[in-house]
Amino acid sequence: MSDHALTTHTAPEGQPGLAGVVSDWSSDRTAFKTATWGKAMIWVFLLSDTFIFGCFLLAYMTARMSTTEPWPNPSEVFALEIFGVNMPLILIAIMTFVLISSSGTMAMAVNYAYRRDRVKTTVLMLLTALFGATFVGMQAFEWTKLISEGVRPWENHWGAPQFGAVFFMITGFHGTHVTIGVIFLLLMARKVWRGDFDTGKKGFFTSRKGRWEIVEITGLYWHFVDLVWVFIFAFFYLW
């Protein structure tokens, strides 16, 4: 290689301090060079959603630590009586198991999608959607139970009135995310089953030929929803 070529392709010496950090990031051509528009945008969306959930959890912790009234005991509030036996957090444990299991089926769906196995991908996506719908159904049962016991966004008979507000806000916002994910999973499973990503058939969320990456993008959203639930479970039900 000529001296001229070496001179042309040699990276400039980095700048010191904050200016150097900005320069390095702005001139980086490899971070998003291979990322598609869809992947880049889902990461931007997930990052923004992380801030929202983070603010909600911070608000919950602030309300809990600042209240002068005793905070309700989750083991009592979320207990179920089964065959005469009081079982604390049993419903929450099952909900968590169901949602975490759905991450496994979603990961396998992505794996088979890149192998172009339409049948297994469809079955696994439908199974993931079933897990998600089961979770939402159990959450609806949980809401119904608490409402029937007198829990409201402004009051409850177990203690601090802020409990109802943060409970319905956080779990409701997360449940909405799960519901949207279930709907999207069903739509994508239908497109996979019809072979839209092989034929390039136009329709809802246009299926460009060979663009199986949409299954992975759906999976990224779903894993994010599952991860958020882990934090909600730890902060809200175990604290």
What are the domain boundaries of the chain?
34-70+86-237
Q: pLDDT tens digits, residue range 17-41?
A: 677 666 655 555 555 566 677 888 8
Q: What integer best gives the mean pLDDT of the chain?
A: 85
Residue 2 pLDDT grade (very low, low, confident, very high; cuts 50, 70, 90): very low
Residue 29 DSSP symbol: -
What is the pLDDT, as a whole number, of residue 139? 95
Strands (E) in the chain, as ranges, are 79-82, 85-88
105 and 127 in contact (C-beta within 8 Å)?
yes
User: Phi and psi of 16, rounded to 5°?
Assistant: -80, 160
Residue 129 has pLDDT above 90, yes or no: yes
Q: What does the alpha-carbon distance between residue 219 and residue 212 come to, in Å, rounded to a whole number?
A: 12
Report, as an integer, the average pLDDT of 116-132. Answer: 96
- Please state the pTM of the whole predicted model: 0.82
Tell me, what's the pLDDT at 206? 59
Nearest to 229 by CA among 171, 165, 167: 171
**142 C-beta neighbours (distance < 10 Å), count:** 19
As its CATH architecture, domain 34-70+86-237 has: Up-down Bundle (1.20)
